[in-house]
Amino acid sequence: MAEEIQPMEEEWDNLIILDACRYDYFERICDNYLSGNLKKVISPGSGTSEWLRRVFDNKKFDDIVYVSANPFINPRGSNLVEGFNGRECFYKVIDVWDRGWDDEEELKKLQSEAFINAKKFSLENQQERHD
């Protein structure tokens, strides 16, 4: 039986949140991209809004750079999710959905380069967050 997990109570260096990703589909392909052990858990929320409120609870996480492909988490202070403000919650929010969108592709997707550049920024500014 799967157990509910609270990501902010776990120990991690990099946390990848795949919003709306089904476990059964991810299980089929994850070995092609990631090493380690995959474990099925129960999400703290059934949708993005509920998940954000339950996981982050409007606490301040000064050491987290949140690279986001979802406009619900944004640095503009727009409260798209009642009871959650990404700008006040994290050290920095990088909106790759705003900068890396590719309308030329048939699938209309985010470019992987946008995530790579955001990760580089996060690593370059890591020391500043911990001072």
Quote the percentage of the chain above a pLDDT of 90: 11
Closest CA to 41 of 58, 63, 62, 18: 18
Domain spans in the chain, listed from the N-terminal domain onward: 3-130
Q: Quote the mean pLDDT of the chain.
A: 78
Q: For residue 111, is pLDDT > 60?
A: no
Per-residue pLDDT reduced to its tens digit, 56-67: 988 999 988 888
> What is the pTM for the complete model shown?
0.69
pLDDT tens-digit series, residues 62-100: 988 888 877 778 766 566 788 788 888 888 888 876 665
The pLDDT > 70 percentage for the chain reads: 68
Residue whose tokens read 């500014």: 125
Over range 7-28, report the average pLDDT.
86
- Residue 99: CA atoms inside 13 Å, Cβ hemisphere, count? 14
State the pLDDT at residue 27.
Answer: 93
Rounded Cα distance, 21 and 37, in Å: 17
- pLDDT computed for residue 69 by the predictor: 77
Q: How far apart (Å, rounded) are the C-alpha atoms in residues 111 and 82?
A: 29
> Where does the pLDDT of residue 105 fall: very low under 50, low under 70, confident under 90, or very high at 90 and above?
low
Report residue 38: phi and psi, to 5°.
-90, 135
